[in-house]
Amino acid sequence: MPFVPHTEEELWQMLDVIGVDSIEQLFDEIPGELRCGELQGLGPGLWEQEISRLMQGKARQDGQPLCFIGAGAYDHHIPAAVWQLASRGEYYTAYTPYQAEASQGTLQLLYEYQSMMTELMDMDVSNASLYDGASALAEAVLMAVRANRKSRSRRILVPANLHPHYRATVQTLVKNQGIELVEIPYDRSTGQTDLQALVQHTGQDLAALVVPQPNFFGVLENVDALTEWARANAALSIAVVNPLAMAVLRPPGEWGKQGADICCGDGQPLGAPLSSGGPYFGFLCSKQTLVRQMPGRIIGRTVDLDGKEGFALTLQAREQHIRRSKATSNICTNQGLMVTAATIHMSLIGADGLIRIAGRCHSNLQLLVEKLTSLDEIEPLFSGPVFHETVLRLPLEPQRVLRTLAAHNILGGYNLAKHYPELGNALLVCATENHNQGDMDKYRLKMEQVLTSRRQGACATMAKFD
Amino acid sequence: MDELIPRTQTLIMLIFEHSKSGRRAQAQAPMADDGLSGIPDDLKRKRKPRLPEVSEMQAVRHYTRLSQKNFSIDTQFYPLGSCTMKYNPRACNTLAMLPGLINRHPLAPDSHSQGFLSTMYELQEILKEVTGMSAVSLAPMAGAQGEFAGIAMIRAYHDALGDTGRTEILVPDAAHGTNPATAVMCGYKAREIPSKADGDVDMDALEAALGPQTAGIMLTNPSTLGVFERRIKEIAGRVHEAGGLLYYDGANLNAILGRVRPGDMGFDVIHMNLHKTFSTPHGGGGPGAGPVGVSKRLQPFLPIPMVGTDGHDYHWLSEEQCPQSIGRLSAFAGNAGILLRAYVYAKMLGAEGMQRVADYSTLNANYMLKRLMDAGFTAAYPQRRATHEFIITLKNEARELGINAMDFAKRLLDYGIHAPTTYFPLLVPECFLIEPTETEAKESLDAFIDAMIKIREEARTDAKRVRGAPYTLPVRRLDDVRAARELDLRWQAEEEEERA
Ligand SMILES: Cc1ncc(COP(=O)(O)O)c(C=O)c1O
């Protein structure tokens, strides 16, 4: 009976107080026909040693490959202190800080998080998290539709070089409210959003334009032109950014003449391990004027009865527990623990540290590209500048290359064939500060062997035809 | 009084206020600054973000100290109704963080994912069995997103039948706020139906509300009133006859785990809160996980991705295999690390352990209810059995002693007990929704009851003292009105404040 503390004697005492003979009797209001028999297929409970062996086996099965995949989830070093602190029971096992006096730790930390996030993004306000980057973008889209007073439009321009899973998620989450996502193509030579194509929408009634930085190809966008175009067309601009990159790139608050209106993204690069895609956290910041349209929790500083400073949830009239069907979103549970980790992560690393880590990611990518493109027939696909991820053209199908590399315990990147078949043999590769020279040499060597064996294989088949 | 409290104690020390320009935790970044030679100048950031500049020890000390200002399950009894604040086994955390799992990239190929995928597949199977549904998707990232998925599936189902005249979702007045908010996010109108005095749904009102415009109904059973909806079969029959589908809000699944299955009650779709029933941590607000289970007819619409198997290997099921899916809910596969924790928990419980959850959480709740009633407190539904939680109303105390539910809640904090859920559900005045969970020992339950009795005593002799609580915590009651009126949502550097 794991985790249930009752002794036999206590059980009888408690039943006696209640005035029943058995636990069974406590369920007597439930119609008999609804009662189920013993659950099937669950087996007996395991003790901690047994479940540990089981999980260790599973973990070993997945190995620890050398990974060059990014595509929205990035392998960064996380200071040891981050999860040692975030795993403290006082953070790990508390809940939403409704009882402010008994939650000042979490509340102050979230206020600090909001402060750090607005600094990093150069925006006025931040909420206390949403689920992940993709769902945060969906919330940003809904927020823009509510907030754009100049336009009644429900059309949102979304560039095709935005992460395909983000586009899919937004579609799922907003389509039932009659919001239309209009795709903007990318420039085939630079990889950037096609300004020419955007201009065709000039003068249309639009709610917002989505601007990724970097985009899914790793390419940096001409954010000023895009933000200004949006403003000129009475559309709000929604930035979708990598938070680590914002330590070194101009942040959304500085885009164009007045900055982006809303910015969001995935906080994973700030202290969340890869962990098969989650939990991460979605962040959402905006201009002050839009704060009442924000979804999710927001923490404010105030004072107590004695005039002492403290923190509390605020602007709750936006939220479902107060507003019900008129709330800005249905979100309740968010990703608090991930934000706890991110706050500690940012404090430990600081602006200078983030700048160095971003710099190392960038120089490692340059090195990786240099090594791989030194091989015959591998070349960068796009000319636009990149941060820590880029698209390479391969001489053969990425799927085949990746399979062979995986057999050597290297995950060589993300194959773009499914979402961008028009790009041919295109592979998205990423480098971070977690890679070193040896890793990249290993990748280059294996890649070379794959290409050589292909050439020899091809010669062999040709020989047969002769 | 003021002279006795040093001025510094009335001000909070933010991490930013530990900063010194030029200080940093040097072990936490590369020694060299590599620069950004491939990035054009006009895209580069000019002004550094003002993040804290502290040493490693300063950060560790600051966040350790902050943690000590929290109540948590690990430190206090936390009978927060509807939230199932049970013990979170440490093994679940340790095993979800094993290197092969914690470092797995979400887009790793199947060849490097069999350990993870097999776990997810098994969890889907376990949750199917526990809920009595035909299929499960683990994609939703919390209860509310599970609700979204469920109602979106109901909509997709009606749309697939060409039945587009259904515009309403019925929601009992006792429902959690996420229910009506979800209905609206799915493009529906939320229509409230009242509860009767005994806590069950008012069948006449339901009857009157049903019609060709009904897309479905969202129910929690046991309801948020802490009682089991006895006529659930009849409700299911009536809603189905009207062409609507039934959604089960699984927030209260702890009450019936291993005893009753939502699938057997006639529900078409359910979500589970793994951060409640399956004991994954609440993390100061999240993350959670809100898997959805469905009956056969909704199976094609489940959110992606899911995990399938050919009997030997495991693989993802995505758009290609699930063309009618409502789609993706996140960039990858939901809160995978939380799902791993739930799997570990389920394996540790086994079939028998699951049933014990329902048994002992129900035992604890009924024990507390009986003792509180014996002590003269008022049950909201005295003629009903408690489920895993129950409601007392403090309206008499409010009227006679001038002490309301919030006063009791705040004073409980001084006794080292986290307050129950207050003022929810909205239809019971001055209410406490109390959920002890199965992991709490009799001593904690007794301490809670003793504290309630003492607070009422105190109120009789010194009501003002109770109204002024808490006294023992880092702060006393906070000024919420000021928080909302004079918005202070972030720290600002001094020079900026001066400019403002
Ligand atoms: C009855 C009920 N329904 C739905 C929810 C929403 O779940 P979540 O907070 O995981 O989104 C909750 C929990 O907060 C709840 O108590």
Q: Is the dihedral of CA B372, B375, B377, B379 positive or negative?
A: positive
Measured in angstroms, the CA of A118 and the nearest CA of chain B are apart by 8
Indicate which CATH number applies to the domain containing A197. 3.40.640.10
What's the CATH architecture for B91-349?
Answer: 3-Layer(aba) Sandwich (3.40)
Tell me if B337 and A275 make a contact (CB, 8 A cut-off). Answer: yes
Q: Nearest residue on chain A to B186, judged by CA atoms?
A: A176
Task: Enumerate residues 279 to 298 of chain B having a beta carbon within 8 A of any beta carbon in chain A.
Answer: 279, 281-288
Among residues A321, A345, A369, which one ends one of the domains? A345
Residue A42 placed within a domain: no
* CATH code of the domain in which A396 resides: 3.90.1150.10
Q: Return residues 198-217 of A near B (CB < 8 Å).
A: none
Mean per-residue pLDDT for B55-61?
Answer: 97
Mutate to test the pocket of ligand 1, among B147, B179, B223, B273 (most ligand atoms within 8 A of CB): B273
User: What are the residue ranges of helices labelled H in B161-261?
Assistant: 178-185, 203-209, 232-241
Please check whether residue A61 lies inside any domain of the structure: no
With 80 as the cut, is the pLDDT of residue A57 above it?
A: yes
Mean pLDDT for the stretch of residues A331-349: 98
pLDDT digits (tens, 9 = 90+) for B192-251: 999 999 999 999 999 999 999 999 999 999 999 999 999 999 999 999 999 999 999 999
Q: Are residues A89 and A113 in the same domain?
A: yes
Q: Which of residues 361-420 of A touch B (CB under 8 A)?
A: 362-363, 366, 385-387, 402-403, 406-407, 411, 414
B83 Cβ partners below 8 Å, 6+ apart? A95, B276, B282, B421, B435
* B146 CB burial (10 A radius; 0-12, 13-18, 19+): buried
Say how many Å lie between the CA of residue A19 and the centre of ligand 1: 32
Whether pLDDT at A351 is above 50: yes
With beta carbons less than 8 A apart as the criterion, state whether A316 and A86 touch: no
Ligand 1: residue whose CA is nearest its atom 8: B143
Q: Are residues A258 and A299 in the same domain?
A: yes
Q: Residue B1 — very low, low, confident or very high, per pLDDT cuts 50/70/90?
A: very low
Are residues A214 and A246 in contact, defined by beta-carbon separation less than 8 angstroms? Answer: no
The answer to whether the beta carbons of residues A172 and A136 sit under 8 Å apart is no
A414 or A455, greater pLDDT: A414
Asked if residue A334 and residue A365 are part of one domain, the reply reads no
Ligand 1 centroid, distance to B292 Cα (angstroms): 14
Kindly state whether residue A15 falls inside one of the protein's structural domains. Answer: no
For residue A89, list chain B residues with Cβ-Cβ distance below 8 A: 72-75
How confident is the model over B347-384, as pLDDT tens digits? 999 999 999 999 999 999 999 999 999 999 999 999 99
pTM over 0.90: yes
| B131/chain A closest Cα distance in angstroms | 10
Domain ranges across chain B: 91-349, 351-477
C-alpha span between B11 and A310 (Å, rounded): 8
What's the pLDDT at B498?
A: 57
B409 touches chain A (CB under 8 A): yes
Q: How far is the CA of A325 from the centre of ligand 1 (A)?
A: 15
In a domain, A58, yes or no: no
Q: What is the pLDDT of residues A265-313, one digit of tens each?
A: 999 999 999 999 999 999 999 999 999 999 999 999 999 999 999 999 9
Among residues A121, A152, A138, which one has the least CA distance to residue A263? A121
Distance (Å, whole) CA B394 – CA B396: 5
Residue of B nearest to A19 (CA): B370
- Cβ pair B15, A218 in contact under 8 A: no
Please compute, for residue B391, the number of CA atoms within 13 A of its CA located in the half-sphere on the CB side.
27
- Work out the average pLDDT over A314-336: 94
pLDDT beyond 90 at B17: yes
The model's pLDDT over A111-127, given as tens digits with 9 standing for 90+, comes to 999 999 999 999 999 99
A335/A447 same-domain check: no
Pairwise CA distance, residues A64 & A79, whole Å: 20
Single out the residue in A345, A369, A397 at which a domain terminates: A345
* Closest C-alpha to ligand 1, atom 10: B143
- Considering only alpha carbons, which residue of chain A is nearest residue B77? A94
**Is 80 exceeded by the pLDDT of residue B10?**
no
Q: Using CA atoms of A145, A147, A153, A154 in order, give the dihedral in degrees to the nearest 10.
A: 0
Task: Please report the pLDDT score of residue B9 as a whole number.
Answer: 60
Q: Are A280 and A155 contained in the same domain? A: yes
Lowest mean pLDDT among A25-39, B325-339, B439-453: A25-39
The most distant pair of C-alpha atoms in chain B lies apart, rounded to whole Å, by 76
Among A169-173, A453-457, B268-272, the range scoring the smallest mean pLDDT is: A453-457
pLDDT score, position B25: 94
Q: What is the three-class DSSP state of A380?
A: strand
- CA B476/CA B468 separation, integer angstroms: 8
pLDDT in tens, A22-34: 999 999 999 999 9
Q: How far apart are CA B222 and CA B170, in angstroms?
A: 17
A273 assigned to some structural domain: yes
DSSP bridge partners of A309: A303
Q: Which atom of ligand 1 is nearest to the CA of B82?
A: 16
In a domain? residue A50: no
A65: cis peptide before it, omega within 30°? no
pLDDT band for B499, please (50, 70, 90 cuts): low
Strands A309-313 and A299-303, sheet pairing: antiparallel
CA distance A462 to chain B (A): 31
- Looking at A215-335, list the stretches that DSSP marks H as alpha helix, in order from N- to C-terminal side: 223-232, 320-323
State how far the alpha carbon of B273 is from the alpha carbons of B251, B282, B309, in Å.
6, 11, 25
Asked whether residue B468 carries a pLDDT value surpassing 60, the answer given is yes
Q: Which residues 153-212 in chain B show a CB within 8 A of chain A?
A: 155, 176-178, 180-187, 189-190
Residues A335 and A381 in one domain: no
Same domain, A285 and A357: no
For the segment A100-107, the average pLDDT, to the nearest whole number, is: 98
Task: State both tokens at B136.
Answer: 């499960």
Residue whose Cα lies nearest atom 15 of ligand 1: it is B251
Nearest to B438 by CA among B335, B359, B494: B359
pLDDT value of residue B7: 43
Total domains in the fold of chain A? 2
Q: Which residues pair with A208 in a beta bridge?
A: A156, A236
Give A132-180 pLDDT, tens digit per residue.
999 999 999 999 999 988 888 999 999 999 999 999 999 999 999 999 9
What mean pLDDT value characterizes chain B?
95
Least CB–CB distance from A411: residue in B94, B98, B112: B112
Q: Calculate helix-pair angle for A8-18, B336-374, nearest 10 degrees.
A: 50
Whether residue A339 sits in one domain with residue A355: no
Maximum pairwise Cα distance, chain A: 94
**CA separation, residue B219 to residues A176, B178, B282, B473 (Å):** 22, 12, 23, 38
Are residues A440 and A364 both part of a single domain? yes
Contacts of A190 (CB under 8 A, 6+ apart): A219, A382, A383, A384
> What is the 8-class DSSP label of residue B144?
H
Share of chain A above pLDDT 90, in %: 94
A106 chain-B contacts, CB cut-off 8 A = 70, 284-285
ipTM of this complex: 0.97
Interface contact A276-B38, CB threshold 8 A = no
**Residues A308 and A359 grouped into a single domain:** no
Are A278 and A294 members of one domain? Answer: yes
Contacts of A208 (CB under 8 A, 6+ apart): A141, A144, A145, A148, A156, A157, A230, A235, A236, A237, A238, A261, A262
Strand partners, B400: none
Helix B442-467 vs helix B336-374: crossing angle, to nearest 10: 70
For residue B255, give both structure tokens.
């009450």
Q: Is residue A393 situated within a structural domain?
A: yes
Q: How far is A132 from chain B (nearest CA, A)?
A: 7
Q: A134 lies in which domain range?
A: 80-345
Q: How far is the CA of B231 from the CAs of A26, B39, B243, in angstroms? A: 18, 66, 19
- The CATH classification number of B351-477 equals 3.90.1150.10
Ligand 1 atom at minimum distance from B175 CA: 1
Are the CB atoms for A207 and A178 separated by under 8 Å? no
Q: In the structure, which protein residues have their CB atom closer than 6 angstroms to any atom of ligand 1?
A: A 332-333; B 82, 142-144, 176, 178, 220, 224, 249, 251, 273, 288, 290
Q: Are A313 and A374 members of one domain? A: no
Model confidence at B191: pLDDT above 80 = yes
Q: How far is the CA of A275 from the centre of ligand 1 (A)?
A: 24
- Sequence-distant (6+) residues with CB within 8 A of B39 are A220, A248, A249, A362, A385, A387
Question: Is the distance from CB of B68 to CB of A90 less than 8 angstroms?
Answer: yes
Cβ separation A308–B10 shorter than 8 A: yes
> Could you tell me the pLDDT band of residue B317, with boundaries at 50, 70 and 90?
very high
* DSSP H/E element including B454: helix B442-467
Mean pLDDT of chain A: 96
Provide the pLDDT for residue A456: 78
Total residue length of chain B = 500
Assigned domain for A377 exists: yes
Question: Whose CA is closest to atom 7 on ligand 1?
Answer: B143
Sort out which chain A residues have CB atoms less than 8 A from B419's CB and list them: 99, 102
